[in-house]
Chain A
């Protein structure tokens, strides 16, 4: 345990070193090249490997004249050595004890914001020290062998594992031998063992390339790439262009393969079969790869069927380990604060009462009482400190409740109406859209770096008067809020200038006072919707920021970008509070859980991860998508997650059990937007194929098999036909559906830019 703790420390200081005054230019030049965490060493190989990497790091630090950091690391390293000497292997035992582990991890992750604060190294595309710390998370604490930041000269250390080589001419034979064996094995094993093909293929190819057997590598690729599953095509394309050892240094995809073990889930029987075969054949080459680069998650019981496997595989690094999804997630909703709903004739009075800074009243109203009792799955109310409700928020909540009473009950027989907002003449390209919760404002982010805010109600957008004018206003008057607004500025549209690149994400704050936008220029900007000016530019991601979203309670927000991390921010901190690192490729979309305690991220590595905001841990890894994930949404009750990817499929997940529970097929292109209706009966999905589709969410979640076996093994049987869940398909006129929104009364608002062919 102590070993782990110190590693955490070491990593933090290693990460921190970049923060010492070093020109950021230099850092960014270095970072993309090769800053990558050293792979988690296998538990048994831990100690010597650690030392090797540590030495490499020290060497690098010396080269870079980072004396302080070097000193610090040295101190830590000595500690580490002692610790290793002292406790050795027991530290890695899986059953390290939940408590201890979580204590340690809290230390690991608590230290994350530290190094990230002064920043740059944390923005390297392959993620800083925190990567494997939180990536493997509490799920597999024992596996965290060592963490270090590597640099270009030492990339060879990363690749060194490829050094041991067999006869390059034999590779094809090895592979086809294994192929023959697997194809001839029993049906029940064949599907499971077939999973080996892809990772083996990749690693054998990389080994050939690394050892500079170009021609062999080429012919190996030519011969066998056709056998791989079609969903690996994108990665294969990257691989195919990689033909030289020199190329391997900077190639991120390649590093992903190297630094993270490909995870396979195989039943014990199948595994034994494979092992026996490899031993019989003395096929050391393959055995070595299996040992070093693959993580085989063995389970007892029936081998899985081809379908079951196909549903779960597809991500860049194989399936999620089973332990990764075992930790508890508080997916319930927080208790709503009790606000008394004034009767209509008391409207005025209610407002006045709330005008004073008064605590909630004990009186209850029938409308709000639904959510009064504590959900057993909900996190403690103050698990995450949330901002206090302001008076205006309370008013809004009251409005919301009133609207709720007028809400349409949706169902297969009562489909919602869809109102489509078309952005016309958006030749520059519409890249992001958001709608306020009360559906009064629409924001569009454009590729020409502008953010435009429209009012879709008759109420025009007005900004606050200049300071000089404001001082003239009688502050005591009743309509002071009205008086501070400048009538002259009233217009339907306000344009916000400030970004210097396409705006890929936009999000309104729940109180409609702020707007966030994230852009290619690497910043997230906070705009005031009172003055229509930029208040803060949050710099941290250095690379394009693909998405950002406000917490449902305001104050916090999350952003994710090309640097492969998602960051949690608070509006009043210019540095991130948490860095969620672990994805192996760009973080394409980020969403807050309705209870604000979790953040879900969808990535180009074809996984969805759920992060705990409290401690920064990754608590769920969902695999099964076959393409980069571009949309995410939580069900209103917080139990389910729906994700959409470029492959046109929408997958449904049960957060509590960590299982895939549904697959919705129908779209023929990237699913850009997903949204549940306010009561969760309908899931709407919008896509680049110019359609909006409505799905029966109730039915999709209805007959969940959540028996113990399924939960324990994670083997799911998806219903064959998702067509019967499809309630409607609505074509637009060459308008990709970029955003979907359910109004409080369950009317669907969809938005997209008309793109003439």
Chain B
């Protein structure tokens, strides 16, 4: 309780130079050192006094943060005129500058162009205060609804994962609600899900973990069943809802091991059966899981990575490789892997380097089929510009020769042709923007040919296009920032009030970033597929309507794998980027859906998802 703690109080005093500076600004040039000293003592004391009073106002205002108004009220207590002009700043952005041996903190006042202010549309009127009721607890049990925080915060899940022996302290969060009524999880399950991890869990056979049974409540079992069925079922609307639930619901951590196993097993089975549609559905589940901010996924990454990798590099993913668009699945899965790397790669697990190695190995191998080759390149390319620069660009010439050999040479098989064609456009798509950045502007066909061999001329024209696009993008920056602010206000304005399952915390985080990405997507993609940039942006701002549009994609029962794969990746690419919440309001970009549906489109020009 009152354990003897050594406290450390230091008596900070303003430097006397500050007094000099102030005096100078008042027009008093010469001020004695002694006077400065006296002044600093006095001023420091008064400042502290006011700060202590201001704290009082903060406490009474039920806040954790001291605001400028607290200072004002404290000044008022002392019968001092408050400082005007410091209102409504979330924080006071003091800038630091040093030079000439002097260090200075100052308050930066930016010059604002009036015409800018006049021309920007007015911000939305802030919403008025309103009251919203929800159940914090029902007979001692906290319902897992979006208004309540996730049952087990991420930190706790992590603690359980890493240190199972000392998780769940008595009397802590877990204990309270569970004690009252044995609803759902038994008290044991805090540690229980530890058990679920299959034997492949790397490491420590020596360490004994407490053995306990992992049970799901009846409700959870029903939920799991519904969700998994919807995810792989035929109804696209249901699927969208299910995926949204996975991506946003806060209480899924107990079911996470099941989902993980479901996905990895599903991929294993369906790769063998070449069931492209199902593989796509499973990948979308992975994406949704990754998007859920309340899940601590690290423990299951080892199960998910092989599944996702399989979908990238597998030799065959569909029944009719010449017609089906398995390329989109590879692209999508490649993006997933990139996302996994970004989130989970650390210096200890080396996920990224291991993955990179795998890709390079299969790419370098001469006998690798075109499909796998495509996957490897896509996987590498998604890992970012640096990877492209170091691993892909040096091999462009070699790869170009190989492609030419297939395209120009005697017709061996149609499948190879298509494959080579896809690899070529993939390389062009990814390398062009990188080259545009690396090389100085004058793009010379010959120089490119000299450097990159047969791919040179094509690359050159792509780079030129990329440059044009970058310029275009720069123009649209204004617009993008605008939309972002709109989205921000929208998402924060109704925290917890979301009629859908949006929740205060989850809304703000994912919906902001994705929109940014999305906008850039729209602007960088050639206008052939998506409508114009701003148009598509507008569409995604209408956040809340969930599934409708997607339903069009695959109304038929199943195999017609054409619609799902084609409609999948692009809405996937975008919608999942958008935090899974915003399914395209109406008609998800129809462009990709239609050309593929007939299946006859030549793959070369088609490759309808150039989404970066």
Contact = CB atoms under 8 A, between A and B. Distances in A.
A414 B139 contact: yes
Contacts of A588: 60
B132 A425 contact: no
Contact of B131 (A218, A456, A502): A456
B257 interface: no
Contacts of A549: none
B155 to A, nearest CB: 13
B505 interface: yes
Interface string A464-483: 00000000000000000000
A430 interface: yes
Given A426-B129, A730-B142, 4 more contacts: A243-B45, A416-B139, A626-B2, A732-B149
A452 B64 CA distance: 23
A736 B497 contact: no
B135 A417 contact: yes
Contacts of B465: none
Contacts of A148: none
Nearest to A251: B49
Interface stretch (A43-51, A98-106, A226-234): A226-234
Given A233-B7, A431-B62, A422 B140 contact: no
A414 B140 CA distance: 8
B133 interface: yes
Given A228-B7, A726-B171, A728-B177, A420 B133 contact: yes
Interface stretch (B71-79, B314-322, B515-523): B71-79
Contact of B62 (A243, A430, A732): A430
A228 B4 CA distance: 8
Interface stretch (B115-123, B267-275, B419-427, B488-496): B488-496
A693 B149 CA distance: 15
B402 interface: no
B354 interface: no
8 contacts: A229-B2, A417-B135, A424-B495, A425-B127, A452-B129, A501-B73, A543-B77, A692-B136
Given A424-B129, A426-B129, A754-B495, A504 B52 contact: no
A310 B1 contact: yes
Contacts of A420: 133-136, 147
Contacts of B170: 723
Interface string B40-63: 011011001100100011011111
B234 interface: no
Nearest to B11: A240
Interface string B163-183: 000000011110111011000
A414 B139 CA distance: 7
A427 B137 CA distance: 26
Interface in A412-459: 413-431, 442, 444, 446-447, 452, 454, 456
Between A238, A422, A429, A444, the greatest number of chain B beta carbons within 10 A of the residue's beta carbon is seen for A422
Nearest to B55: A234
Nearest to A433: B62
A241 interface: yes
Contact of B493 (A425, A670, A694, A738): A425
Nearest to B6: A226
Given A243-B45, A415-B140, A630-B59, A733 B149 contact: yes
A750 interface: yes
A242 interface: yes
A78 interface: no
B5 interface: yes
A327 interface: no
A152 interface: no
Contacts of B496: 422, 424, 733, 754
A188 interface: no
Interface residues of A, number: 95
Nearest to A751: B131
A594 interface: no
A247 B132 CA distance: 49
B607 to A, nearest CB: 42
A756 interface: yes
B494 to A, nearest CB: 7
Nearest to B44: A241
B200 interface: no
B69 interface: yes
Given A424-B494, A425-B130, A666 B49 contact: no
A161 interface: no
Contact of B128 (A419, A425, A665, A727): A425
Interface in B422-467: none
Interface of B: 1-9, 11, 41-42, 44-45, 48-49, 52, 56-57, 59-64, 69, 73, 77-79, 126-140, 142, 147-149, 170-173, 175-177, 179-180, 492-497, 503-505, 508
B135 A236 contact: no
Contacts of B173: 729, 731
A729 B148 CA distance: 13
B147 A422 contact: yes
A727 B147 contact: no
Contacts of B62: 429-431, 672, 688, 736, 738, 753
A425 B63 contact: no
Between B130, B133, B137, B172, the greatest number of chain A beta carbons within 10 A of the residue's beta carbon is seen for B137
B90 to A, nearest CB: 10
Contact of B79 (A29, A226, A242): A29
Contacts of A29: 79
Nearest to A247: B45
Contact of B504 (A419, A427, A734, A750): A734
B149 A726 contact: no
A421 B129 CA distance: 12
A628 B59 contact: yes
Between A416, A424, A723, the greatest number of chain B beta carbons within 10 A of the residue's beta carbon is seen for A424
A426 B63 CA distance: 12
A665 B1 CA distance: 9
A678 B132 CA distance: 24
B77 A562 contact: yes
A604 B56 contact: yes
B135 A419 contact: yes
Contacts of A734: 504-505
A356 interface: no
Contacts of B148: 730-733
Interface in A192-246: 218, 221, 225-226, 228-231, 233, 236-238, 240-244, 246
Contacts of A669: 64
Given A241-B45, A310-B1, A456 B60 contact: no
B37 to A, nearest CB: 11
Contacts of B78: 32
A32 B135 contact: no
Contact of A241 (B48, B142, B179): B48
Given A243-B45, A688-B64, A728 B494 contact: no
Nearest to B503: A733
A592 interface: no
Contact of A454 (B2, B131, B492): B131
B73 A544 contact: yes
Given A666-B171, A727-B176, A754-B496, A425 B129 contact: yes
A619 B168 CA distance: 45
Contacts of B142: 730-731
A732 B505 CA distance: 12
A172 interface: no
Given A237-B9, A672-B62, A727 B133 contact: no
Contacts of A736: 62
Interface in A717-757: 723, 726-734, 736, 738, 748, 750, 753-756
Contacts of A442: 131
Between A241, A420, A425, A456, the greatest number of chain B beta carbons within 10 A of the residue's beta carbon is seen for A241
Nearest to B5: A230
B56 A231 contact: no
B382 to A, nearest CB: 32
A365 B61 CA distance: 46
